[in-house]
Amino acid sequence: MSKSSSAFKEALLVTLGGIVILPLSFALYFFLFRMFERIVSLEGPYRFVSTLRVSYGVAWLIGVVLVYRTKWDDLIKAVFLTGALTSFLAAVGVQLWESPALFRGIIVTMLIIVVILLRRRKSNWYHFYAAVLACAAAFLYALPGSA
């Protein structure tokens, strides 16, 4: 297998894996939302939503840190990075829907942090691709009229 076809395969796997993991992530969030809605809504309608949303995004980030500490295949780690970073940024984006410039700044900051961490790990290129993919999705989410 040539180097270019191997790179294409890796990019395709990270992209498709991200496409699979994102709906699963949002389905899990919706499930948790419905559970909290039944349990917590007695205190008042939807006071838990902001906390749940941001906590869910942070939990994904913690989860991806734990995944990166495993001996799992690197491509699986990259797929989880795509899902975790996109889930976190979507949660932050919804919280900051009135401040799109701040949200875009957070996206760029997160990308810089992730790139620094990946460089320290001497990660393969597709980890960086996963981070860029997640941030690109978040930037599209931040476009006026998208959220």
- pLDDT band of 79, cuts 50, 70, 90: very high
**For residue 140, what pLDDT is reported?**
86
Structure tokens at 36: 């909290």
Average pLDDT over residues 42-56: 77
Q: Where are the domains of the chain?
A: 9-141
- Is pLDDT of 11 > 80? yes
Rounded percentage of the chain residues whose pLDDT exceeds 90: 62
Instruction: Tell me how crowded residue 38 is: count the other CB atoms within 10 A of its CB.
Output: 9
Q: How far apart are CA 52 and CA 144, in angstroms?
A: 24
Rounded percentage of the chain residues whose pLDDT exceeds 70: 93
pTM of the predicted structure, to 2 decimals: 0.87
- Per-residue pLDDT tens over the stretch 113-123: 999 999 999 99
Say if CB 137 and CB 88 are below 8 A apart. no
**Ramachandran category for residue 26: left, alpha or beta (phi over 0 → left; psi -120 to 50 → alpha):** alpha
Structure tokens at 124: 């393969």
